[in-house]
Structure formats: structure tokens, C-alpha cells
Amino acid sequence: MLQELFTPSVQHALDLAGIFVFAISGALLAVRKNFDVFGIAVLAEVTGLGGGLFRDLVIGAVPPAAFTDLGYFVMPLVAAVLVFFLHPEVERIQGSVNVFDAAGLGLFAVTGTTKAHEYGLGLTASATLGLATAVGGGVLRDVLANEVPSLLRWDRDLYAVPAIVGATMVVLFIRFDVLNGLTSGIAALTAFLVRLLAMRFHWRAPRAWNRRSAASEPGNEGFGKATA
């Protein structure tokens, strides 16, 4: 099905682009954590390839593409080298990197869901694995860096939700037999735009209503009700 949506060369180029921007975010976090060059490379590889690797292992697409295509493995290293030498410049264009990251999020949510269904998973499981493909690398990055994963933090703009939107649209298109290059592009674009809007307007998921927690908000020692 993936071959019907995109030509192999286009699919490969999109994958590499998504892997690169995800790897940039991993390498930048490694620099902020004062990791050495090996740590920068590891975090770049994990962030760029983690979601796709998890997806392939779950659906039985072995060996995973990350180990059969040299380009997939090398692209995060390119990102790591770039950040190692030019991280102040890369930090200054963080906004642009975030835009490309949002594009990668939408793309991976769509291709992950499609590939999971192609390997025989049901619609719900396919959407779930599409989400894992999109956000898995970031979760592994944060865990290795001893951080609470970003998609679990209330003080971060919506990240998982745009991927869920894209993956859900794909399974609905599959359900009604209208998945093609155009509709898959619409799903990826929708996820991309939702993520951009979340960053622009700081949309966040609500916390527990009438919560009573010892954790205080930054700059606020009191407790309060959940906010969106």
C-alpha cells in the first residue's frame, strides 16, 4: 500500500527528511545535557530511528529498515555532526527546526499507520502504532536523557494529539476505502497544521480536575484546577 501512495524514491526521501529533523532535536538535547560526542550521536540515532524501529519490530518487519538501509543509519550521524560543530547556529533556528519536526510528525503518523495495517493489524492497532512511530523516538530520547517524556508533560504544547489526529484520519480513510496519495497527504497535512497551531497558541492537554498534588506550577507555589 505504501508503494501505491508514494514512489519508492519519494518515500525514501521523506523518511530521510523526517529522520534528520527528529535526530536534530535529539542531538540538541544531548548538547544541553552536556553529553560528549558519543552521547550526541546516540541520542540523535535513537530520536531519529526509535519510532520506526519499534514499529518494525512489533509488526515483524525484520530486519528493521534502520538496519537494512545505510541512509537511515547515517542520516542521524549527519545531524549529530552538524549539531556538534554548529549547535549555537542550530539553536538560533530552533523555530524552523520545530516546523520541520511537525512535518515529520505528520508524515510518520501516516506512514506508520499505513505500514502497520499493511502487515495485518486492525484499524485501532494500526493507529496506535502510527502514533508510536511518530512519537517513539522522542520518548526514548527523553528517557535516555533522564527527562520526563515531553508528551507526558502538561507544560508542553500538544505533541501526541496531532499524531493521533493524523493516524485516526488514515484508519478512517482505510475503513471507507478511500486511502490514496491525496488523502494520505491530507492526513499528514492536518497533523502538521494541528501541531503548528498548538505551538503558535500553546495548546495543552487538560490536567485532572480539582487536582490536589504536591507538584506546583513554575512560578506558582499554590494549587489550582486543571487548565487546558
Higher per-residue pLDDT: 55 or 219: 55
Q: Closest by alpha carbon to 45, among 131, 130, 144, 128?
A: 144
Helix ranges (H only) for 33-122 are 37-59, 65-68, 70-92, 94-118
Q: Closest by alpha carbon to 27, among 93, 109, 105, 85?
A: 85
Residue 169 neighbours by CB under 8 Å, 6+ apart: 183, 186, 187, 190, 191
What band does 224 get if pLDDT is binned at 50, 70 and 90?
very low
| Statement: residue 142 has pLDDT above 60 | yes
Query: What's the chain's average pLDDT?
Result: 88
- What is the reported pLDDT for 135? 96
What band does 100 get if pLDDT is binned at 50, 70 and 90?
confident
Mean pLDDT of 190-211: 91
Residue 60, CA distances (Å) to 6, 57, 135, 190 in order:
22, 5, 20, 29
Quote the CA–CA distance of 97 and 104 in Å, as a whole number: 10
- What is the reported pLDDT for 209? 83
- What is the reported pLDDT for 228? 37
Mean pLDDT of 17-45: 93
Q: Where are the chain's structural domains? A: 2-201
Lowest-pLDDT choice from 7-21, 115-129, 158-172: 7-21
pTM equals 0.85
What band does 163 get if pLDDT is binned at 50, 70 and 90?
very high
| Statement: residue 97 has pLDDT above 90 | no
Mean pLDDT of 46-51: 96
Q: Closest by alpha carbon to 162, among 136, 122, 189?
A: 189
Higher per-residue pLDDT: 3 or 209: 209
